[in-house]
Every structure is written in C-alpha cells, then in structure tokens.
Structure 1
Amino acid sequence: MSRRDAREVAMKIIYQYEFGQACDDDLIKEMSNQVKLSNADMEYLYDVVNGVKNNIVELDSNVDKFLKGWSLDRLAKIDLAILRLSIFEILYRTDVPNSVSINEAVELAKKYGTEKSFSFINGILASVVQHVQ
C-alpha cells in the first residue's frame, strides 16, 4: 500500500524487539502479511528493522542526549520504538526527508502512544535533527 504502512509495521516489529522477540526475516514476513506492500516498501521495511537492530546503541544514545530528567528505561516502550525508527531514518535514510520522518513519528505517536507522546516525540526528534545538522 504505502511507505506509511511499512513504517507502521516496522514500528510494531521494533516494539516487539524490545520485549525479546527475534527480529528476523520470518517475523518481518509474518508482520508484513498484514498489509500489501510493494517491493520498494518491503526493502524499506527490511532496511529499517535491521538498521535499528544493528544500530540500537547509537540510536538510544541520540535519544538519551535529549532526555531531561528521564532515562531510557522510564520511557514508554512504544515511544522508544517510534523514536528509534525515526532517528534511524534521520541518520541513515537519505530518501526520507527529516520533516517527513518527524511527521510520521508524530502520527504514529498519536495513534499508539499516550496523549502526551506526540509532543514529547516531536521535541526529541527536533533536537536530534538540530544536533546532526
């Protein structure tokens, strides 16, 4: 269907990874069966899931830099999954403009997070973008 659907599937897989679910090709195939994705969107899905898994220390470090009075282990796991996905896009995906990545993260937070998640995520991601430029 769209990159948005692939991004949502990726976020769900990254969320499951936090709870010890293996992020392997079988899980990616199983989760992607929930929606119809193009070949390009499947490539994106594999890239971001594996990219987050392989760069999780760096991604978490970027989140941690901008937490004020919080620690990673206190964050809602869904918020952390959304942040990891978006920061991976910001740092490694040249085909996704930063503004699109932030907007999509905010939309995921509105759908899956708490009523404060979207503004929290927007603030962290804006700080990350400002820091990497």
Structure 2
Amino acid sequence: MSRRLARETALQVLFQRDLTKEPLIIAEEVKRWADEFVVPEPSRGFAQELVEGTIDHQNEIDQTISSYAQDWSINRMAKVDRNVMRLATYEILFRSDIPGRVSLNEAIELAKRFGGEESAKFVNGILDRIVDSNLKAEKKGEL
C-alpha cells in the first residue's frame, strides 16, 4: 500500500472541496483522483478514510491549526497549505496508528510538491507545534 499516493489523493479531494465549496460524494471523488494518480486499490481505502475523517473533524482541526498559526487566520492561508495541514492534523489528533512525526514529514513533502515556495516551511512551523503539544498531552495521559 502506498500511503503517500493515498495522501496525495486525499489532498486533491480536500482541495477540490475547499475550492468549489460544493458538497462532494467522497467515494466518487476519491475514485476519480485515485484513477488519475493510478493509486493501487489497497491505498484507496486509506485515502477515503483520510478524507472522511478530515471532513468529520474539520471544525476541531481548524480550531487547532488556528490556535498554533500565530497571526494567521485559517481563511487567509493558501488553500493547498490549509488542506495539507488539515489532513496532517487529522492524522496527528485522531489516528493513533500513525506517529505524529510521520504525519508531519508527509505533510512537508505534500507542501513541497503541491504548494508554493514557502509552503513547506509554513506547514512545518505550525504542524511541528501541534505534534509537540500532542506528544506532551499523550505523555500526561490527557489523550
């Protein structure tokens, strides 16, 4: 299974949803983008889980990102950066099967590939604080 391809697929679906503001049939959109990226079948389920989880928890995710993005409102962020961080924050907060540092590193790679010149640095700065905070909370037994 290629989790990187699954994340790229999930990012495309989330970006499209953010751009068009249209309600999407997630399974159809995941299939469409997975076909475009030639994503193997086992990875498609992971992509769909990521999209559904990110959308289901978007309010909490956006609040978390906003609380760590000093002087940046979520709506002022570039759409790619915002959706890369939403995807990674979902993984960090809600997917205990994925180490936070893995989610952070994957997000940086997505930002490099799909974002602007400063995207990777911007995404890293915010997500690194979210990962650190989450790790501290886990150690204290708060999660």
TM-score by length of 2: 0.86
Query: 2:138 — aligned with what?
Result: none
Question: Where does residue 59 of structure 2 map in the other structure?
Answer: 57
Q: Measure the CA separation in 1 of the matches of 2:29 and 2:107.
A: 22
Shift of 1:23: 4.6
Equivalent of 2:26, from 20, 24, 27? 24
- Residues 124 and 29 of structure 1: CA distance in aligned 2, closer, same or farther (over 3 Å): same
Between the aligned residues of both structures, percent identity stands at 36
Which of 126, 129, 133 is the equivalent residue of 1:127? 129
How many aligned positions are there?
A: 132
Match of 1:38 in 2: 41
For 1:93 and 1:43, how far apart are their aligned partners in 2? 15
Where does residue 75 of structure 1 map in the other structure? 77
The answer to whether the 8 Å contact 2:111/2:120 transfers is yes
Name structure 2 gaps, 5 residues minimum: 136-143
| CA-atom RMSD in angstroms | 1.3
Q: 8 Å contact 2:30–2:44 — kept in the other structure?
A: no
If you compute each CA radius of gyration, which structure gives the higher value, 1 or 2?
Answer: 2
RCO (CA 8 Å, sep 6+): is it higher in 1 or 2? 1
Gaps (5+ residues) in structure 1? none
